[in-house]
A and B are shown apart, each in its own frame.
Chain A
Amino acid sequence: GENVEQHPSTLSVQEGDSAVIKCTYSDSASNYFPWYKQELGKRPQLIIDIRSNVGEKKDQRIAVTLNKTAKHFSLHITETQPEDSAVYFCGQGAQKLVFGQGTRLTINP
């Protein structure tokens, strides 16, 4: 079935450094991998996504990489800023879209 494991559960980095969050999935039929950012008390919002026919996608300071053979994908945030502090969820979809457990990212000034 569809299951996605996300690590780490918490991550603290210095402002300006990079942050990397990783997810692994089990369903080889999955073909869509979004990342959502959720600020405290707010709705999850899509920040970047990748489809299975692409290995990497970048949008300014945010990038996602996908390794279909190993069944894992990662979110990379460079030059982190205080406003990047939030909970980040990875998702994967085959018959439905399910999310990982979330990573609480804290950017220290």
Chain B
Amino acid sequence: EPEVTQTPSHQVTQMGQEVILRCVPISNHLYFYWYRQILGQKVEFLVSFYNNEISEKSEIFDDQFSVERPDGSNFTLKIRSTKLEDSAMYFCASSGRRAAFSGNTIYFGEGSWLTVV
């Protein structure tokens, strides 16, 4: 069964450093997402991406965050200057020909655990 894959599984970074989290969505999917889950809390929407541009973003997704699809397979989340409160599990997700909110199943990756020290 196709899966969303993410790297790294765990990253420790110094406060103020830039971090890039990488994702390979399911190959025939067109909608891509990043979600964040702080330890013990809910899964929070960050951003959705379709047709090479951001389609929706939350208030969490400020100027420190950016997303990119640099080639035909990868989807990245960059945090420019990490803060302690950015420590969380970051989930990449994808859905098929329709957006998740329209009823297409959203598939999550295993997550990248980011620890900012």
Interface of A is mostly: strand
Residues in B with CB closer than 8 Å to A36 are 43
Given A45-B108, A101-B42, A102-B42, the answer on whether A95 and B56 have CB atoms closer than 8 Å is: yes
Which residues of B from 56 to 85 have beta carbons under 8 Å from A? Answer: 56, 58
Assembly CA distance A44 to B45 (angstroms): 13
Assembly CA distance A93 to B43 (angstroms): 14
Question: Do B109 and A98 touch (CB < 8 A)?
Answer: no
Q: Mark A76-109, 1 if CB is under 8 A from B, else 0.
A: 0000000000000100011111111110000000
Q: Mark B8-44, 1 if CB is under 8 A from A, else 0.
A: 0000000000000000000000000100000001111
Question: Do A32 and B109 touch (CB < 8 A)?
Answer: no
Please count the residue pairs between chain A and chain B whose beta carbons lie under 8 angstroms apart in the complex: 61
Residues in A with CB closer than 8 Å to B58 are 96
Question: Do B110 and A43 touch (CB < 8 A)?
Answer: yes
What is the distance, in angstroms, from B34's C-beta to the closest C-beta of chain A?
A: 12
Nearest residue, chain A, Cβ from B3: A43
Residues in A with CB closer than 8 Å to B106 are 34, 46, 97
Given A43-B91, A99-B43, the answer on whether A93 and B101 have CB atoms closer than 8 Å is: yes
What is the distance, in angstroms, from A26's C-beta to the closest C-beta of chain B?
A: 15
Residues of A within 8 A of B (CB): 30-32, 34, 36, 38, 42-46, 49, 51, 89, 93-102
